[in-house]
Amino acid sequence: MEKLIGKVAFITGGNKGIGLGIAEAMVEAGMFVCITGRNEADVKAAEKKLNAIRDNAALGLVCDVRSLSDQQTAVQQIMDKWKQLDVVIANAGVGHFADISLLTPEQWHDTIDINLTGVFNTVKASLEHLKGSKGYLITIASLAGTNFFAAGAAYNASKFGLVGFTQAVMLDVRKHGIKTTTIMPGSVSTYFNSHTPNDADHWKIQPEDMGQMVIDLLLMPHRTLPSKIEVRPTMPG
């Protein structure tokens, strides 16, 4: 993994779950990471965990992806600290699931604002720096981005939108040497939607599996671009 040593990554929602699993894999590969989240205690705990793997490898910031200025501030702090930005992982997400007759406007806007507009903000804040490094943009979508289900109106809309957004962005930025991939996982053992990971999750994709997938993408030859990846547990639960 010599190719990755010294590279710098920005991971939204990197304080737990998939984001933290990706951050751990990156630190182990010799990269530096900035993780963000909205809960200060969670962010600082994750930062401490990552720096225990490799000293001074991680920076934790309290940020809200719904705010473009928050994203711009985070990117500026990355540049101030490391002088480069090579990889952006737009991972922050939320899920509100309800029959359309019960889905509230607040739940709708929260889902769209975080899962879709939040990614737009992350991309806008980091794009010029990714152009400079000919870097890599990865969005974490979901199989719900192509498979609709009851009580999924808000979540499906956000993830269908995210898949389309990412693929369009891929076509916009590849002329600048930027690679773009959307990863669409199925069931992952995380804290998503108030779930607490437990032994019964053994059949699910694990956060470290997602981390390995991202490392594999970063190590692909530059001429080759897996632009959309569906990933699901080998066996159903």
* Residue among 155, 160, 185, 207 flagged as catalytic: 155
Distances (CA, A) of 197 to 78, 188, 233: 31, 9, 15
Task: State how beta strands 8-12 and 179-185 pair.
Answer: unpaired
Q: Which residues pair with 180 in a beta bridge?
A: 137
Could you write out the DSSP letters of every residue in 154-191?
Answer: HHHHHHHHHHHHHHHHHHHHGGGT-EEEEEEE-SB-SS
Question: Which of 10, 7, 15 has its CA nearest to residue 207?
Answer: 15
114 within 8 A of 92, measured Cβ to Cβ: yes
136 is catalytic: no
- The sign of the dihedral angle between the CA atoms of 191, 127, 177, 81 is negative
* Active site (catalytic) residues: 155
